[in-house]
Amino acid sequence: MTTAWIQNLLFLFLLLGIAVPLGPFIAKVMEGERTFLHPVLGPLERGIYRLMGISGGEDMGWKTYAWAIACFNLLGFVAVFVLQKAQGVLPLNPEAMGKLPTGLAFNTAVSFITNTNWQAYGGESTMSYLTQMLGLTVQNFLSAATAMAVLVALIRGLMRRTSNGIGNAWADLIRSTLYVLLPLSAVIALLLVSQGAIQTFGAYVHTASGQVLAMGPVASQVAIKMLGTNGGGFFNANSAHPFESPNAISNFIHMLAIFAIPAALCLTFGKMVKDRRQGWAVLAAMTVIFVMALSVTTWAEAKGNPGLRNLPVDQVATLQQGGGNMEGKEVRFGAGSTSLFATITTAASCGAINGWHDSFTPLGGLVPLWLMELGEVVFGGVGSGLYGMLLFALVGVFIGGLMVGRTPEYLGKKIEAFEMKMASIAILLPSAAILIGTAAAVLSTTASASISNPGPHGFTQILYAFSSCAQNNGSAFGGLSANIPFYNYGLALAMLVGRFGVIFPVLAIAGSLGRKKYTPEGLGTLPTHTPLFVAVLVGVVLLVGALTYLPALALGPIAEQLALR
């Protein structure tokens, strides 16, 4: 129990140690400056530009930028869909996996291009090695690169003055993939293999006693699934599978990999807008919410399952056992590491799991659910977390402006009706997808039949599914039988709305801000690097999340907690 809290502190400390050098490095990469990786990767980057017939320096307006992102993602969808349909006749398929049904293939393709990685399939029983590599691993990289590109475009909108361009989408996509995601993934993959994660093209192993061990090129996919905050496991059990995460050290690497880039990007932002304090303020707001959430989960899961209290079961932590609520958890992680992982994976838009959230205590499960519903802006996804948080910052300065009766500004840009409309759309669309989707599922008898746990928890399973998909998280209350047409198509729609319903408004804001001129700070300007602003930002995020979701949460985890005595 105490070790769990020490581990939590150690995690935050090491995370900072990674973010401080990584943030400015990403800024250099995205601004096209030379780094120590350029002697190796520079020729590759230029070679790709030459084949594309561009120089990489052409500035795009926001509409062209958005069109490029859309084309790129559409190609990704087609590739993943076709691979799943054709894997039966393609190579690297030692277990002879057949083609997937259309609904499932559609759901999975949407899921991976939107950085959600919702999985209505079990990897080791469904996908060929080729589909996992060339379909899913690729989208783990490219969906993360997409969000990094959009974020950087937004930052350029804030920095630039009376400019029509917000950067070149192709250069942003290629640079973030080649210089940031690829080298870090390679390092993480090898670290994971050193701990025991597997990496092989060999067929499944049959033991003398008849046990079948699923194999595959696992570590390379797992590394980017964490680093790109994608979360789609190579195996059904995800990061709980010993071949994905063999011990507590590999588990710790998984967790650091999720938050590394989202935390670093706050500092990238500070460097790019030439005011580091702005980045630290956003990072501070994220950390405050994260620590609150983490404390609740750690406490709730360590206490154990109240439903087993009357049985002769020892749930108390001692030197001889970790104890706590161990259903759906692994001994090598224990309740402590699993609580930390669950909080991280849902604060970020990762969605990998190292224990089943469905079996968490009601309060322990409420926290991951609510973190997703807040919009995954607490560190959040690679790129998407920070552009989401910057939307809340715009809302924050807007509310501040209303209080003193002045036109709100952020980083010297006037925030006017257009920006507020776009920010509101981007915040409301995913919420609408969650609540309307949940309501539709509850009203449908076929959709409700997928519930596996009785009582309020069954409702939570559906609410969790739509929250996870619309916010592009991908974790699940896994008992829900989601591989039916209602969920395959309904949740895919939620994923698309939650992804592109935010990306396009964000790019529109970037375009609009970029055209504006710089307004010097005045007496009525709310400074956005102070503790006061951090408090405003935290308040806005929590308030919007509470107003939108408390009624639904009361029907689910809160009711379950009250009933479970």
Partner 1 sequence: MNLQLRPALVAFIALSAITGLAYPAVITGLSKVIFPKQAAGSLIKADGKVIGSELIGQPFTDPRDFWGRPSATVDANGKPLPYNGANSGGSNLAPSNPDLKKAVEERIAVLRAADPDTTGPVPVDLVTSSASGLDPHISPAAAAFQVHRVAKARGLDEAKVRDLVMAHTEPPQLGVLGDAKVNVLKLNLALERLR
For position 282 contacting partner 1 by CB under 8 A, the verdict is: no
Distance CA 272, CA 24 (A): 8
Per the CB < 8 A criterion, the answer to whether 155 and 269 are in contact is yes
The residue type of 544 is V
DSSP line for 46-107: HHHHHHHT--S-----HHHHHHHHHHHHHHHHHHHHHHHHHGGGSSS-TT---PPPHHHHHH
Per the CB < 8 A criterion, the answer to whether 371 and 293 are in contact is yes
Q: Please report how close the Cβ of residue 387 comes to partner 1 at its closest, in angstroms.
A: 21
The structure tokens listed for 42 are 């520079």
For position 61 contacting partner 1 by CB under 8 A, the verdict is: no
Q: Which stretch binds partner 1 (CB under 8 A): 20-28, 146-154, 249-257, 400-408?
A: 249-257
The structure tokens listed for 495 are 């994923």
- Phi and psi at 85, nearest 5°, equal -75, -30
For position 308 contacting partner 1 by CB under 8 A, the verdict is: yes
Rg (CA), the chain: 23
Which residue, 334 or 388, has its beta carbon nearer to partner 1? Answer: 334
Per the CB < 8 A criterion, the answer to whether 135 and 112 are in contact is yes
Distance CA 423, CA 264 (A): 23
Contact with partner 1 (CB under 8 A) among 349, 354, 473, 488: 354
Tell me which residues in 162-201 interact with partner 1 (CB under 8 A): 170, 173-174, 177-178, 181-182, 185-186, 189-190, 193-201
Which residue, 319 or 523, has its beta carbon nearer to partner 1? Answer: 319
Distance CA 449, CA 444 (A): 9
DSSP line for 218-257: HHHHHHHHHHTT----SSTTGGGSTTT--SHHHHHHHHHH
Contact with partner 1 (CB under 8 A) among 32, 94, 101, 242: 242
The residue type of 426 is A
For position 485 contacting partner 1 by CB under 8 A, the verdict is: no
- The alpha carbon of residue 18 and the mean position of all alpha carbons in its chain are separated, in whole angstroms, by 18
Q: Which stretch binds partner 1 (CB under 8 A): 6-14, 381-389, 419-427, 545-553?
A: 6-14
- DSSP bridge pairs for 212: 206
Contact with partner 1 (CB under 8 A) among 52, 86, 543, 547: 52
Q: Please report how close the Cβ of residue 241 comes to partner 1 at its closest, in angstroms.
A: 5
| Residue 492 host element (H or E) | helix 485-515
For position 478 contacting partner 1 by CB under 8 A, the verdict is: yes
Which residue, 369 or 429, has its beta carbon nearer to partner 1? Answer: 369
Contact with partner 1 (CB under 8 A) among 62, 179, 290, 477: 477
310-313 contacts, C-beta under 8 A, 24 or more apart: none
Q: Please report how close the Cβ of residue 559 comes to partner 1 at its closest, in angstroms.
A: 10
Alpha helices, H only, 334-481:
334-347, 362-373, 384-404, 417-443, 445-448, 456-470
Tell me which residues in 420-449 interact with partner 1 (CB under 8 A): none
Contact with partner 1 (CB under 8 A) among 111, 117, 337, 528: 337
Which residue, 358 or 409, has its beta carbon nearer to partner 1? Answer: 358
Contact with partner 1 (CB under 8 A) among 142, 286, 495, 534: 142
- Phi and psi at 41, nearest 5°, equal -95, -15
* 67-106 footprint of partner 1 as x/- string (CB under 8 A): xx--xx--xx--x---------------------------
Contact with partner 1 (CB under 8 A) among 15, 27, 30, 138: 138
Distance CA 89, CA 78 (A): 17
Which residue, 402 or 563, has its beta carbon nearer to partner 1? Answer: 563
Tell me which residues in 516-555 interact with partner 1 (CB under 8 A): none
Q: Which stretch binds partner 1 (CB under 8 A): 14-22, 261-269, 452-460, 503-511?
A: 452-460
Alpha helices, H only, 137-247:
138-159, 169-175, 182-195, 218-227
Q: Which stretch binds partner 1 (CB under 8 A): 153-161, 241-249, 405-413, 528-536?
A: 241-249
Instruction: Please tell me whether residue 106 adopts helix, strand or coil conformation.
Output: helix
Tell me which residues in 22-51 interact with partner 1 (CB under 8 A): 44, 48, 51
Instruction: Please tell me whether residue 342 adopts helix, strand or coil conformation.
Output: helix
Per the CB < 8 A criterion, the answer to whether 284 and 277 are in contact is no
Q: Which stretch binds partner 1 (CB under 8 A): 2-10, 155-163, 283-291, 385-393?
A: 2-10
Contact with partner 1 (CB under 8 A) among 27, 29, 127, 133: 133
Q: Please report how close the Cβ of residue 98 comes to partner 1 at its closest, in angstroms.
A: 12
Q: Please report how close the Cβ of residue 394 comes to partner 1 at its closest, in angstroms.
A: 29
For position 141 contacting partner 1 by CB under 8 A, the verdict is: yes
For the beta carbon of residue 141, count every other beta carbon within 10 angstroms: 20
Which residue, 237 or 267, has its beta carbon nearer to partner 1? Answer: 237
The structure tokens listed for 536 are 């405003």
Q: Please report how close the Cβ of residue 31 comes to partner 1 at its closest, in angstroms.
A: 20
For position 404 contacting partner 1 by CB under 8 A, the verdict is: no
Q: Please report how close the Cβ of residue 5 comes to partner 1 at its closest, in angstroms.
A: 9
Instruction: Name the nearest CA neighbour of 425 among 536, 516, 506.
Output: 506
Q: Which stretch binds partner 1 (CB under 8 A): 138-146, 431-439, 467-475, 483-491?
A: 138-146
Q: Please report how close the Cβ of residue 94 comes to partner 1 at its closest, in angstroms.
A: 12
Tell me which residues in 201-230 interact with partner 1 (CB under 8 A): 201-202, 204-209, 211-215, 217, 219-221, 224
Distance CA 249, CA 336 (A): 14
Instruction: Please tell me whether residue 273 adopts helix, strand or coil conformation.
Output: coil
